């Protein structure tokens, strides 16, 4: 067992505040870091200590300055680092430096960050564990001839994806052979810009699937459990917009099978801490491994709402060497939860980011309503970071109740001074197809084509 007295979070915004809150409840001191642009950010004041990081560097680069983060840890007796999501959350170099300096990294082992950070290697590991796979290449494609040969062999559509990365960058769907070469070159170019690596692989495209992810937790004693699934099908350009748990389209039998499959994948490599196995579910209820995320996710609150667990606290306990505090038999789904991501963006202008000053904020409340945010009256939303302002999460006794509660909460939420996607979220929740559970990854282009301009 390891003792954790002080945790540093090399992150910003709502996730930093979320982690600080869990630490405070556990009696653990907290350390924030902030860029010079974030001197007035709320996360700075929510920690016990706060220090400028990456002095002289660009806004995002400041939070990626591993050596300066390690310096702050050593100078201020930090025991552990929790990276949150984004920034350095899946960075093997940070985890390795923590290991070298005797700092606890609250996340998976270095080897697992490397293993699943490479999407092709992740496919190989899943295949070894006999997880259902989408037909694809288990190595980077060497040239366009190989791409063309694969597309001719399995048929269109196909997906070209960056080996290193995520968030839809370096990814292209190809429906016509005449577009294949251009899409291949665009994917490589975007991957190079975003991740510094132009390598891509190719796989068969599952048409209009549901995007289902299974939350898992593993400890260093070999115990692994799953916390059931989240339906993350509603996306725009491969970016999640709204998430919910459980998935309305999954039977108890399929839920059990997907959960057991996720556990098998994690146990096959000795995985520790929080992770998410992402699957695509086709119209015939066949599911296929897509990737594994080796971190806590933006949408983790919906899992917390339906299980009653605090996933951040569980991560900290696991990192300290404790055994999981529950078994699979202790995990029960209660009710239904939905999360809406409220962003500073204008849907009517192709979701153009809308930084600026927030002049007034009013957040909803009531039974089963949760707000995770870092904004406040007169907060200046910077142009340098992700546009998410807050996460609105609701919990109801069933899906119908949760939808009604979310619509009510969205109606109460007020953010003035800048444009947001609040009304767009309300449109989604009010659509007949959504209310029937008729959702897939093509939901927004199908029902809201006016918001899909290139």
Which residue of the set 295, 341, 370, 399 is catalytic? 295
Half-sphere exposure of 227 (CA within 13 A, CB side): 27
71 membership: H or E segment, kind and range: helix 66-75
Under DSSP, the state recorded for 418 is S
Which two structure tokens, joined as six digits, stand for 81?
């680092």
- Which H or E run contains 445? helix 443-447
Does 295 participate in catalysis according to the annotation? yes
Measured N-to-C along each axis, helices 311-319 and 13-25 cross at an angle, to the nearest 10 degrees, of 70
CB within 8 Å of 251: residues ≥ 6 apart: none
The token pair that represents 299 in the structure block: 């949408």
Identify the DSSP state of 220: T
Alpha carbon separation from 157 to 305, 417, 443 (Å, rounded): 37, 43, 18
Residue 276, helix vs strand vs coil: strand
Task: Decide: 297 and 275 in contact? Cβ < 8 Å.
Answer: no
Residue with tokens 């953010």: 415
Q: Which residues are catalytic?
A: 295
């Amino acid at each position: 067992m390891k003792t954790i007295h002080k945790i540093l979070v090399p992150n910003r915004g709502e996730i930093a505040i979320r982690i600080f809150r869990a630490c405070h409840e556990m009696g653990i001191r907290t350390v924030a870091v902030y860029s010079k642009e974030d001197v007035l950010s709320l996360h700075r004041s929510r920690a016990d200590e706060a220090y400028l990081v990456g002095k002289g560097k660009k806004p995002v680069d400041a939070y990626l300055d591993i050596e300066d983060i390690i310096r702050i840890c050593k100078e201020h007796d930090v025991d552990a680092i929790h990276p949150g999501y984004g920034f350095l959350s899946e960075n093997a170099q940070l985890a390795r430096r923590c290991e070298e300096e005797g700092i606890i990294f609250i996340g998976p082992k270095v080897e697992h960050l490397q293993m699943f950070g490479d999407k092709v290697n992740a496919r190989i590991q899943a295949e070894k564990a006999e997880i259902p796979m989408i037909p694809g290449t288990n190595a980077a494609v060497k040239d366009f001839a190989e791409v063309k040969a694969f597309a001719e062999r399995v048929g269109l559509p196909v997906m070209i994806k960056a080996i290193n990365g995520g968030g839809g960058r370096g990814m292209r769907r190809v429906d016509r052979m005449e577009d294949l070469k251009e899409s291949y070159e665009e994917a490589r170019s975007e991957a190079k810009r975003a991740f510094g690596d132009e390598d891509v692989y190719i796989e068969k495209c599952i048409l209009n699937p549901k995007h289902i992810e299974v939350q898992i937790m593993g400890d260093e004693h070999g115990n692994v459990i799953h916390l059931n699934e989240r339906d993350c099908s509603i996306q725009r350009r491969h970016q999640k917009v709204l998430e919910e748990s459980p998935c309305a389209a999954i039977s108890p039998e399929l839920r059990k099978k997907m959960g057991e499959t996720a556990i098998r994948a994690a146990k096959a490599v000795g995985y520790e801490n929080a992770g998410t196995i992402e699957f695509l579910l086709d119209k015939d209820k066949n599911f296929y491994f897509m990737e594994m995320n080796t971190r806590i996710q933006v949408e983790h609150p919906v899992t917390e709402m339906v299980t009653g667990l605090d996933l951040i606290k569980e991560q900290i306990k696991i990192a300290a060497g404790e055994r999981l505090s529950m078994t699979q038999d202790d995990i029960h789904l209660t009710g239904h939860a939905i999360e809406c991501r409220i962003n500073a963006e204008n849907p009517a202008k192709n979701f153009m980011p809308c930084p600026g000053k927030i002049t007034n904020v009013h957040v909803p409340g009531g039974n089963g309503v949760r707000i995770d945010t870092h904004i406040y009256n007169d907060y200046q939303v910077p142009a340098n970071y992700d546009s998410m302002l807050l996460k609105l999460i609701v919990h109801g006794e069933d899906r119908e109740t949760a939808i009604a509660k979310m619509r009510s909460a969205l109606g109460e939420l007020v953010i003035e001074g800048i444009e947001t996607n609040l009304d767009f979220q309300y449109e989604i929740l009010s659509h007949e197809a959504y209310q029937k559970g008729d959702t897939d990854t093509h939901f927004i282009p199908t029902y809201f084509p006016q918001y899909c301009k290139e």
